[in-house]
Structure 1
Amino acid sequence: MPEPMPSSRAPEPEREAEHALASSSESSAGAGKGEATELAGRIGQETAAVRWLAPEEIRARGRRRNRIRSVVGTTAVVAVVAVGSVVAVGRYGPQPSPVAGPSAANSSTPANSSTPANSSTPASSSTPAPSLPGLVEIPPSALLQPAEVGPGLVVDRVEVRPDEVVEVIDPTVPLSCSGYATRARYVGLARMIRRHTVQQRPAVPGDPHSGAAVVHEEVFRLVPDAARQVFADARAVPDVCAEYVSAGAIEIDGERLAVAAVHRWRVLAEGFAGDESVLLDWQTTIRREDTSAVVDGPASRLVGVVRVADLVARVDRVDESADPAQGQALVRAAAARLCTAANPRC
């Protein structure tokens, strides 16, 4: 399933990365200052070579990257923006009451995972960004490598970001699945995220999106209690969203048609890798609203989620292969790589 070509590139990504790193360094103090400076240097060296996505590509990342994109894409953008405005309240968990004391990152109180995702608690612009002591960065070696996915593949579309919105399960799910939308889910930020795509070599030199994607992988570093909650949120999808329908429109041969996408989620395997793991099958069938005729599908994709200590990874197989045994093998390989970067290590 080849993906759409990007429309633009961010003009000066390095300047944005340098600004973000400078802000992170200024928030550290005392004994942690040297450690934060060293961390910023390591991240700076790494992100200097990373191609940062244009704003429209960032918004598109949260939407489903296959044939139902045009069905739910418009509302998915709204969801990503809305979720982002909520999680900014608490950074690594819901915002505590304004009392004197240490910042959220230094507090020993675990994140309150029971706060609903649609919380309307106002954000405080005066709340300082917490420092990030200890192991935070996620090295490239912590993610699946091409040889573990298939022959002749390469790694591309790399992103490395601090303070990232946690989207382990596609944000289009709560838009159409009422049970998941009302479920109390984790609403904090990941301390760091690395994502990349293992794909065919680009057909157009210099344009990574011209190579067909095989596996998208995202690794989130969270505080430990949050990592457990994020995994639980992902595992809940097939329980509360076994089947649901999303409405939208799709263009076929120049004609715009009203369609309904029927989604089905089921568990293929669980508890086979890392501290916690699950392999999900996400099947979609798109039908015309007027005649109920099938426009596309049923199309399946394998979504593996695995937790190792404070790291949670999503391994999203998006090519035409939907072999559960192969999906499990990829998740096991992903878990083994997470071990080298987890805190604590395996």
Structure 2
Amino acid sequence: MVEAAFDVDQLVGHWYRTDDFYEVGREKIREYARAVQDFHPAHWSEDAAAELGYAGLIAPTTFISTTAMLANRRLLETLLSGYDIVVQTDQVFEMYQPVVAGDRLNSEVELSSVRRIAGKDLITITNTFTDQAGDVMQVMHTTVVGVTGEEVGADIGETLERVIMSGLDSASRTVISPDDELSAVKPEADARLSSISRTRLPRTALRFEDIAVGTELPAKTVRLTRGDLVNYAGVSGDANPIHWHDEIATLAGLPDVIAHGMLTMGLGAGFVTGWLGDPGAMIRYGVRLSNYTIIEADTAGSVEFTGRVKSIDAEARTAVVVIVAKSAGRKVFGLATAEVRLA
């Protein structure tokens, strides 16, 4: 394991912008929609997307995380290289403009906060995605727990070297100093938030008048296999082997291989947008993970989703939906909400 060169607390506020834009591909949208089992037609058919007012295939809610995986790699492999594994705990998506095929996204990465709870570092990374005009399209806040080999199996570092994807070899990682380019402080500037998601006319299957506090969403059960986890790892770029390698999962102190938190969140987002009928009508999605979705080698796992309307805003024609996800009788989401707009 590579030892951190300085306390992670000192890194709060460090920021960088990626060197190149990310161009959203038509087939990548379809690949990701398949990986999160989201078969809304607007993710697959240009005609269906056009009927909802989109210029191309619209990306699923959590698609932006694939861009973040690429953008965050420099941070994870340098400033946070003292951790052998990072485990996701909380996620918030703020949507200001839908992402559609052909968009070119610029990414900014900031280590926005560190908290130490029960002897563990909880690190929040904020990703800001802007379009070519500089308007903020989406913001993503990811909180992870940094885990070292001292806290889990002593052999985890050596085992990781044997199984990690080529090109992510931890032995080649370098620890940078606070004077390096990566440790720059974010420039002072007022972010221009795109207004599209909050001003476009949503084309939802439901009208605001059709819902009330307490309205329940139709329940949905999703089946997951090890193959689904491997597929999601490849499509999303999340190569963490706790999601597909039994030995690493055991060394990390897990009961078995577990589903990606972001995969479970993607399934939950599709559960809500399928009910809405317009994937771009969700403007905020937040999830706190409270348990694992365990996927054993010899049997499929499942996640059961239910939801209800918690509150409504008649003036804005918006609603907050509470989402419950359970697997094997355990609550996977500690707290999950989606703010949506209705026609």
Same fold, TM-score > 0.5, yes or no: no
| Greater relative contact order (Cα < 8 A, sep 6+) | 2
TM-score (norm 2): 0.30
TM-score (norm 1): 0.30
